[in-house]
Amino acid sequence: MFALLVSVAMITAPVSAIFGQGQVQATSAEKLVELAERAEQQVNNLIDLVYANETILDAIEAVGLLGELADNVTLYYEGVDNLTIAQETLSLEDYDGAVYYATEAFSIFREVFSSIYVILEDAGFHMGKIIDNQGLLEAITRQLQTIDRLRQLLPEDTPDEIVQLLDDAEALLDIEEAKALLLEGKATEVRDTLQEAKELISQVYVYLKEHAEGLNAWRIDGYCERVRERIRERFRNGNQLGIDFTDVLEAFGFQSENQFMETLEEMIQTAKGKKGEFRNALQDLNDIGQMVQDMDQALAQKMNQYQNGYGSGNGNTGGNYGQGGNGSGGKGGK
């Protein structure tokens, strides 16, 4: 994270100092917007981390900086607005405009990151430790997702001891228990438990490679078809209700439902092309499952808002699946 924000500091220099004088080329603008998207996501993650931790919020409130934290969240959203304009101008091939607004977004994200860093330090929290803890929790979540995918791909005649390996790994990967241990400063214990779970999961990989190669193809096909149909049904139900999902799609970087489905289909075909490389195929399936899950949740929230008469905002976090989603979940003061 620190390395990324150092890059942010460099990019906020004058455009001519980065790309040279004259007309900004398309590739340069695209790279700058992409880097702005990555910076936005990092700052978004930091904000989420702070607001999800009551201990941190209590400490910030105790030193009288909760209002300043909320002000920085508001400023962050101004950066998101600039990034959105940068993405739109880039799509219109206005490369100078894209660079201008992406640079503005960068400047804001750097300011927000720096301010939150100072707030956390004043509240008695070491930034490096907080980032490390967040990384551990994200790693646990990824391993849980892997377990879910493996369960769907295991043959029906898989020995009980192989299935038990996944059960044991899942029991070790208790998110709430990990959070409690991290708050107690027991990061090493969480890290050791995560490693133990990974070793159990690795044994399942070995089994699949040795005993289930011939079954991988049709199981991957079946999984992809279930994922494809799940999101199609969600779009279909919303369309039948007359709901416009444009704002949700744009939050994830897509211009239309068709563009999302085309991207999904490309990812599915890539995964199918790796049937002989099971571990790589599984990683692709994880990415596919996560993208569809995020989109499905956003669409469901939009439908609930529509049915309950709460307006048209989607209020959800966009992913980096299309041209670059940038939204963030709602955050406010305690």
Measured between alpha carbons, how far is 323 from 30 in angstroms, rounded to an integer? 10
Q: Provide the 10 A C-beta neighbour count for residue 298.
A: 25
Classify 286 as helix, strand or coil: helix
Measured between alpha carbons, how far is 246 from 199 in angstroms, rounded to an integer? 43
pLDDT the model gives residue 7:
41
Q: Which residue, chain included where needed, has tokens 């799609």? A: 249
Q: Which residue, chain included where needed, has tokens 């942010």? A: 8
HSE on the CB side for 253, CA within 13 Å?
Answer: 20
Which tokens sit at 239? 């369309």
Classify 118 as helix, strand or coil: helix
pLDDT the model gives residue 300:
84
**What does the domain layout of the chain look like in residue ranges?**
2-125, 126-211, 213-312
pLDDT the model gives residue 3:
42
- The one-digit pLDDT tens for each residue of the chain (334 residues) are 434 443 434 433 444 444 443 344 677 788 888 888 888 877 887 887 788 778 888 889 999 999 999 999 999 999 999 999 988 888 888 888 888 898 899 889 989 988 998 898 888 876 666 667 777 887 888 888 888 878 877 777 788 999 999 999 999 999 888 877 876 778 889 999 999 999 999 998 888 777 655 555 667 777 788 888 989 999 998 889 898 888 888 888 888 999 999 999 999 888 877 766 766 777 787 788 878 888 888 888 788 777 765 443 333 444 444 443 333 333 333 3
Measured between alpha carbons, how far is 298 from 290 in angstroms, rounded to an integer? 12
pLDDT the model gives residue 55:
82
pLDDT the model gives residue 131:
64
Measured between alpha carbons, how far is 208 from 219 in angstroms, rounded to an integer? 12
User: Is residue 200 within a helix (H) or strand (E), and if so which, with residue range?
Assistant: helix 187-211
Q: How far is Cα of residue 133 from the mean position of the Cα atoms in its chain?
A: 17
Classify 173 as helix, strand or coil: coil
pLDDT the model gives residue 309:
58
Which tokens sit at 241? 């209700």
Q: Does residue 219 contact residue 281 with C-beta atoms inside 8 Å?
A: no
Measured between alpha carbons, how far is 143 from 163 in angstroms, rounded to an integer? 15
